[in-house]
Amino acid sequence: MTTSARPFVHDGIAFGCDYNPEQWTPDVWDEDIALMREAGVDLVAVNIFGWSHLEPRPGEFDFRRLDDVIGRLHEAGIRVNLGTGTASPPAWLTRMHPDILPMAEDGTRRYPGGRQAWCPSSRPFREAALRLAERVAERYGDHPAVALWHVSNELGCHNALCHCDESAAAFRRWLRNRYGSLDPLNRAWGTAFWSQTYGDWDEIGTPRATLSSRNPAQALDFHRFSSDELLSYYRAEADVIRSRSAVSITTNFMVTAHIENLDYWSWAADMDIVANDHYLDHRLDDPNSELAFAADLSRGLAGGAPWLLMEHSTGAVNWQPLNKPKAKGEILRNSLTHVARGSDGVCFFQWRASVQGSEKFHSAMLPHAGTDTAVWREVVELGGIVDRLGEVAGSRVEAETALVFSWESWWATQNDSRPSKALGYLDQVHSAYSALHSLGLTVDIVPPGADLSSYRLAVVPGLHLVRESEAAAVTDWVADGGTALVTFYSGTVDEDDRVWTGGYTGPFREALGIHVEEFAPVEPETALHLSSGATAHLWSERSRATTAEVEASFADGPSAGHPAVTRNAWGSGSAWYLATLPSPADYRALMARLADEAGVRPPAVVHGGDGAVDIVRRRGTDASYLFVVNHGSAPIVVEAAGTELVSGALIARCAEVPAGAVRIIREEAAA
């Protein structure tokens, strides 16, 4: 049940970590707590994976260790972000109920021995997990150390899509609820094609592995169902806690590069505070820009309110093909970029590096090598800075640009049988976002259909699945004077994955003033040249402008002579369309033109430098805070006045931000 949010009450910006004390003996706990105090840690997540310790045998509970750990943290003045402990079932539970184990799309079960090995629809799992959550909530619901409830852990990280019989039955229930009867389902799924018409609900299953491609509308609904199923699980745990504790409740989202299974737009309202885990992804061209995007999306999910960075890393993770440590100063730059973009906390996974188990090569605040390390010194330095930023808590980020983001479009874009396998939804979003980020523009990430009235510029990258009302939210706003950029493959299908006919871009078409007849994607390494001199990749289309002006056309490739960039005057605004993926420099140049036309500027003027700069303003009641993060190897100068909170220096007109440094300037008078 969604109820009104309970505020997360914390003094200043939280600084903390996941702590897994089950791995250590009590003498280590004492050392840990002393070092946490040295680093300024004030919020510690415990009992995330505690189940087998709390309930070693069915129905037999033992809270002594957790009592002790929470008691020691409390005595040291450290608050607790308390896990319900249900993230991974104990071995006895899967032995008693092997059907708890999730099933992959090929019909094979996944074994225990890792983590999160439970089917989201499993009744025996839910019953056992809620029983544990109830015991934990009863015991600690009023404990003065508990500052926040942490339901499960990264729900859906590994187990979002389960194909077992229990999941199939739950999927059918969900479908009955959505469609009422089989006729609308058959219509929505287009089952007339390939002899797929259903005459009985029991004929319907999850989209398991097929010989050919699967029904794409069924796959899309299965994504929706799977996201809803885990949300209902979250709600069940949250309800158990809510009746036993007045403290705010959340779970850690995974707004990050590679997790697509949960539509967090539908989850966010259930969180008392949105919390996110973020790890730099070195497989991407621009990990810093992705970090900024993820932080902006977390803020979007929070509706612009402060959110909480629940986990990130001090160095290497252990789950990428190559796990890179951070460069000098990068812990600070990453952490403070999240704060710049609205986080009221900086927390890490995990406190002390494990010496056993799957994550022993994952970095931690306290590394294997101990406190005589660069990582530890940077952690302590960061703790000091976070402590000085208390007044920033509660302030809100200012943005004039919106970017429309949709999990449904992500799912639909990456369905089987699409025009090009090289086309990825998130890649399109990141490319557009990177171009804006490289210009220093602050971007709010908004859901389809969002009210755009407070923005000057809106970017709609690859919004493949769109409802008429969602397109109208953009085009009506343009008619009222907005400037929008819509990019290729947007407006292709409706909510049932049914093509909008009459020319691609469907409900955007008229406002864009174009008629797109055919897609003509190209091999990813093929360069396309535009009449403007720009280069592009991946995509071209055969179209003509109806009312739009052609700003650039394809000079070569399968769509030579057709428009690549168009601009249509629509009401008192303008609707731009981009039919290809420009090189990063050319995308940036295009966004600069749009920003100029829309009158959008970075929050302050920056001079010099040789790399990316994150520059964001958070506005509080009495002051605003200008965050400047210099990722480059040359100093920059920023035009700003006020007090610099990292060093305490007074700034009259300009501040130098050395290479790799972060500056946070309190601007007393409204900027």
Report in angstroms how near the CB of residue 25 gets to ligand GLA at its nearest.
22
Report in angstroms how near the CB of residue 535 gets to ligand GLA at its nearest.
36
Count the residues in the chain. Answer: 671
CB of 154 or CB of 644, closer to ligand GLA: 154
Q: How many residues bind ligand GLA (CB under 6 A)?
A: 9
Report in angstroms how near the CB of residue 318 gets to ligand GLA at its nearest.
7
CB of 313 or CB of 415, closer to ligand GLA: 313
CB of 261 or CB of 543, closer to ligand GLA: 261
Half-sphere exposure of 382 (CA within 13 A, CB side): 30
Strand partners of residue 113: none
151 is an interface residue for ligand GLA by CB under 6 A: no
User: Contact letters (x/-) for ligand GLA, 509-548, by CB under 6 A?
Assistant: ----------------------------------------
154 is an interface residue for ligand GLA by CB under 6 A: yes
The binder of ligand GLA chosen from 229, 270, 311, 541 (CB under 6 A):
311
Report in angstroms how near the CB of residue 248 gets to ligand GLA at its nearest.
19
Outline where 17-120 has alpha helix (H).
Answer: 26-39, 51-54, 64-75, 91-96
Angle value at C-alpha 324, between 320 and 330, nearest 5 degrees: 125
CB of 221 or CB of 311, closer to ligand GLA: 311
Residue from 274, 219, 281 nearest 250 by CA:
274
19 is an interface residue for ligand GLA by CB under 6 A: no
Q: Quick one: 88 exposed, middle or buried, by C-beta within 10 A (0-12, 13-18, 19+)? A: buried
Report in angstroms how near the CB of residue 551 gets to ligand GLA at its nearest.
43
Determine phi and psi for 304, rounding to 5 degrees. 95, -10
Report in angstroms how near the CB of residue 593 gets to ligand GLA at its nearest.
39
298 is an interface residue for ligand GLA by CB under 6 A: no
Angle value at C-alpha 366, between 360 and 370, nearest 5 degrees: 95
Q: Which residue is nearest to ligand GLA (CB)?
A: 277
Whether cis (ω within 30° of 0) applies to the bond prior to 350 is yes
Q: For residue 451, which amino acid is it?
A: D
CB of 219 or CB of 317, closer to ligand GLA: 317
CB of 230 or CB of 595, closer to ligand GLA: 230
Residue partners of 130: CB distance under 8 A and separation at least 6: 236, 237, 240
118 is an interface residue for ligand GLA by CB under 6 A: no
Q: Of residues 254-283, which lie at the interface with ligand GLA (CB under 6 A)?
A: 277, 279
Residue from 15, 551, 511 nearest 309 by CA:
15
The binder of ligand GLA chosen from 103, 247, 255, 317 (CB under 6 A):
317
> DSSP assignment, residue 393?
T
CB of 124 or CB of 315, closer to ligand GLA: 315
Determine phi and psi for 602, rounding to 5 degrees. -65, 160
Report in angstroms how near the CB of residue 271 gets to ligand GLA at its nearest.
16
CB of 102 or CB of 603, closer to ligand GLA: 102
Q: Assess contact for 537 and 528: CB atoms under 8 A.
A: yes
Residue 24 CB neighbours (<10 A): 17
Q: Assess contact for 226 and 120: CB atoms under 8 A.
A: yes
Q: What is the DSSP annotation of 449-483?
A: T---TT-SEEEE----B--HHHHHHHHHHHHTT-E
Report in angstroms how near the CB of residue 87 gets to ligand GLA at its nearest.
8
Query: What amino acid positions are annotated as catalytic residues?
Result: 154, 311
362 is an interface residue for ligand GLA by CB under 6 A: yes
The binder of ligand GLA chosen from 94, 153, 543, 559 (CB under 6 A):
153
Report, in angstroms and rounded to the nearest whole number, the Rg of the chain calculated over CA atoms: 26
CA dist 41 and 384 (Å) reads 10
HEC letters along 311-341: ECCCCCCCCCCCCCCCCCCHHHHHHHHHHHC
Report in angstroms how near the CB of residue 421 gets to ligand GLA at its nearest.
28
CA dist 244 and 141 (Å) reads 6
174 is an interface residue for ligand GLA by CB under 6 A: no
Residue partners of 386: CB distance under 8 A and separation at least 6: 12, 13, 15, 40, 335, 339, 346
CA dist 366 and 368 (Å) reads 7
CB of 24 or CB of 198, closer to ligand GLA: 24
Residue partners of 73: CB distance under 8 A and separation at least 6: 33, 44, 46, 79, 80, 145
The binder of ligand GLA chosen from 51, 149, 234, 349 (CB under 6 A):
349
Q: Assess contact for 435 and 476: CB atoms under 8 A.
A: no
Q: Quick one: 183 exposed, middle or buried, by C-beta within 10 A (0-12, 13-18, 19+)? A: exposed
Report in angstroms how near the CB of residue 244 gets to ligand GLA at its nearest.
24
Q: Assess contact for 341 and 255: CB atoms under 8 A.
A: no
Report in angstroms how near the CB of residue 311 gets to ligand GLA at its nearest.
5
Chain residues binding ligand GLA by CB under 6 A are 153-154, 277, 279, 311, 317, 349, 359, 362
